[in-house]
Amino acid sequence: MNLAVPKLRAEKCFVELNPARLEGEERRASTIKGAFQLGRLVGLEEMREVDLIVAGSVAVNEEGGRIGKGGGFSDLEYALGREAGIIREATPVLTTVHPLQILSEEIEMEVHDIPVDFIITPERVIATHHQLKRPEGIVWEILKEEMIQSMPVLKRLRNSG
């Protein structure tokens, strides 16, 4: 299992948690502090293929639309994985929300936004069966220079591409 370093501020911008090394420490590993203590920092090239993505959401709709916290980090993490070939078009994306976070209105999706395939609430699992397009990688045109400069992995990818 991998999770992103907050704000992707390191070249090795993911923390790998190996379940075989967490026996008895699973609860501690579920916190950011514990994950950093029990996991190891890895770069994109060290990661295995991603089987499932759990994306945080502020709100979703049953058509697969998702609103994050506004920083774009989940979308960027997804884009990095697509660029590295460790996330496929068919990799399922799910989110967990309270039923009040499920909107009935349309959610406008931008070219960089990742739709959700499954919405999990305490009472239900909703398969969205969306037809929304997923990002194929990093959309460089929308990234601000200060964001690129603050993320070593983005600087490296831009300079190597």
pLDDT means per 10 residues, the chain with 161 residues, are 87 93 93 94 94 96 95 92 95 98 96 96 97 94 93 91 65
**How far apart are alpha carbons 82 and 126 in whole angstroms?**
25
> Model-level pTM?
0.90
pLDDT at 82: 96
Smallest Cα–Cα separation from 61: which of 12, 105, 8? Answer: 105
